Amino acid sequence: MPDISTLALFSVATLGLLIVPGPAVLYIVTRSVSQGRTAGLISVLGVHLGSVVHVAAAALGISALLAASATAFTVVKYVGVAYLVWLGVRKLMRRAEGEKAIELKVQSRQRLFWEGFVVNVLNPKTAIFFLAFLPQFARPEAGPIGPQILLFGLLWIVLGMASDGTYAMLASALADRVQRSARARRRLDVGSGLVYLGLAAWLTTEKA
C-alpha cells in the first residue's frame, strides 16, 4: 500500500485541484444560494456518491489494464499527464461568458440528492479525470494497484466533501457575486488552468 509520504503528496495535489471550483462546485453553490445551506450539503452528498462509482470503475479498470500489460499502465499514466495539460490549456484559453446567473427550480431534498448523484456519475469528464489523475500516484511495487486506486479515490472523496461542504456553507454570502461576475468566473478559469498545468509539470518531474 502507499506510504505516508505518497499519501501526503496526493492530499496536497488533491487539495490544489479541489480549491478551484469546477462544474460540480458551481452546481452545489447554486443550490446553496437558491435553497439554502442544507440543500447545498445534500447536493454534496449526492455528488460524491457519484464519485464513489467513478473511483470503483477506475480501480477495476486500471487493475485489469495492469494485469494485461505493465507497459500499457505506464502509457496511461503519461496520457493522464497530457490530459491534465489539455485541461489547463483549455481553461486558460476559455473566453469569459456574459453576465448571466444560473437559476434552478426548487427541488425536494431527495430530488437534490439524486440529482447531484446523476450530475456526477453520468459526467464522462469525471470518469476520464479519475482515470487520468489517480494512477499517477499508484506504484506497482507498493502492492496491488486496485486497492491503491481505491484508497486514493476514497481520500479524494473525503477531501472533496470537506472542500465542497465549505463552499456550500459559504455560498449564501459569496456565490451570487461569482455567478453574476464574468470577471470572477474568468479568474477562476485562469486559476484552475494554472493548477492543472502545474500539477502536470510536477508529476512529470516526479517520474523522471
Give domain limits for the chain. 4-207
pLDDT tens, position by position, 28-52: 877 777 777 888 899 899 999 988 9
CB 120 within 8 A of CB 57: no
Q: Tell me the C-alpha distance between 92 and 103, whole Å.
A: 26
How high is the pLDDT of residue 35?
75
CB 160 within 8 A of CB 154: no
Q: What is the grid cell recorded at 115?
A: 440529482
How high is the pLDDT of residue 161?
93
pLDDT tens, position by position, 161-194: 999 999 888 876 665 565 555 565 566 567 656 7
**Spatial CB neighbours of 97, under 8 Å, sequence gap ≥ 6:** 182, 185
Residues in the chain: 208
How high is the pLDDT of residue 102?
47
Residue 110 has, within 13 A of its CA and on its CB side, a CA count of 0
Please state whether 69 falls in left (phi above 0), alpha (psi between -120 and 50) or beta.
beta
| Backbone φ and ψ of 4, nearest 5° | -60, -40
How high is the pLDDT of residue 157?
93
How high is the pLDDT of residue 32?
79
SS3 of the chain: helix, strand, coil, percent, to 5: 85, 0, 15
Q: What is the pTM of this model?
A: 0.68
User: Which residue ranges in the chain fall short of pLDDT 70?
Assistant: 21-23, 63-74, 76-77, 80, 87, 91, 94-107, 123-125, 172-189, 191-193, 195-196, 199-200, 202-208
Q: How far is CA 160 from CA 15, 36, 39, 138, 207, in A?
A: 8, 20, 17, 19, 26
Mean pLDDT taken over the chain? 75
How high is the pLDDT of residue 17?
78
CB 135 within 8 A of CB 152: no
